[in-house]
Amino acid sequence: MHGLIAKITTTPGQRDALIEILLAGVAGMPGCLSYVVARDPGDEDAIWVTEVWDSPESHAASLELPSVREAIAQGREMIAGMEPVAVTQPVGGHGLP
């Protein structure tokens, strides 16, 4: 498995709008085992995204899906910064194989 944890900082006041876009763009991503979008309780402009994929290749392929490309295009101007906090190698857990 392949995991990613990223922190996205939005332009002021755009966090909830970007969350809606991120959640709408995730349907039907082959190989995606878990995709969690969370508000940072200490920063009103920060979002945490935690992803688990069956492989790095599935994650890379997801970036070419029309729904994902559309979400990226819609949200691009709302993003002030993005930090890939960690690449992980999940081994299991609740809801994972």
Q: φ, ψ for residue 94 (rounded to 5)?
A: -60, 125
% of the chain with per-residue pLDDT over 90: 75
Domain count within the chain: 1
pLDDT at 85 over 90: no
In a domain? residue 70 = yes
Whether residue 95 lies inside any domain: the answer is: no
Band (1; pLDDT cuts 50, 70, 90): very high
Residue 93 lies in a domain: no
CATH of the domain at 35: 3.30.70.100
Q: Could you tell me if residue 95 is left (phi over 0), alpha (psi between -120 and 50 degrees) or otherwise beta?
A: left
94 assigned to some structural domain: no
pLDDT digits over 19-60, tens only? 999 998 777 789 999 999 999 999 999 999 999 999 999 999
Task: Report if residue 77 sits inside a domain.
Answer: yes
The tokens 């029309």 sit on which residue? Answer: 66
Domain extent for 80: 2-88
